[in-house]
Amino acid sequence: MNDDKARKKEIVKDLLKEDLKTDDEEELIEMLIDEPLAIDIDKLEDEKRTFGDKLADVVAATVGSWPFIIVFVLFLFFWMFLNEYLKGFDPFPFILLNLVLSCIAALQAPIIMMSQNREAKKDSMRSKNDYRIDLKSELILEVLHEQMMQITKIEQKILRILEENNINLQDIDKK
């Protein structure tokens, strides 16, 4: 039983990343059992998004889609056709096109990384939330298990007392 309490204390320490006093342990376990821990991470993060965050998400979603890739490839072929066969403003080796593509790539990469970093942060928050919920479930199950064990012991005592007094359970059911 002492090992169980020590284990619970370690679990709660891990959860909260702080040292606990023995007096606070029971109160904290009760708090974890009684209070809901589940949070909607997406809703919480969406409320904090700035205009730049929203723009980065839109850019990342757009650039990472098949329609964008198809349109961009068509644009490249159009540019090359226009400048090679119609003698446009950027003859082969398409130096202006290379400059434009380099600038687009230079801007796209950090914007996409901003969106990816925020998604990674949300994933981390989801993971921590899942861990807390799992911990709460484990603590509740341990409490229920202890209560079931107490009920079983009491039941066994009652049965032993009934047997010692020669009382048949079927007689009790009939009354």
| Structural domain count, the chain | 2
Q: Is the dihedral of CA 142, 144, 147, 148 positive or negative?
A: negative
- The pLDDT assigned to 18 comes to 54
Q: Which of 48, 18, 17 is nearest to 122 (CA)?
A: 48
Domain containing 116: what range? 36-174
Mean pLDDT computed over 60-73: 95
Give residue 82's pLDDT. 93
Residue 72 above 90 pLDDT? yes
Q: Are residues 43 and 9 in the same domain?
A: no
The answer to whether residues 5 and 63 belong to one domain is no
Same domain, 91 and 111: yes
Give the mean model confidence (pLDDT) for residues 101-105.
Answer: 96
User: Above 90 in pLDDT, residue 60?
Assistant: yes
Arithmetic mean of pLDDT over the chain: 84
Q: Do 55 and 27 fall into the same domain?
A: no
pLDDT of residue 174 exceeding 60, the answer is yes
For 33-44, write each residue's pLDDT tens digit. 666 767 788 888
Average pLDDT estimate for 115-124: 94
**Does 17 or 125 have the greater pLDDT score?**
125
Mean pLDDT over residues 28-51, rounded? Answer: 78
What is the structure's pLDDT at 23? 57
Looking at the chain, the whole-number percentage of residues with pLDDT higher than 90 is 49
Confidence (pTM): 0.61
Residues 17 and 85 in one domain: no
Shared domain check, 42 and 29: no
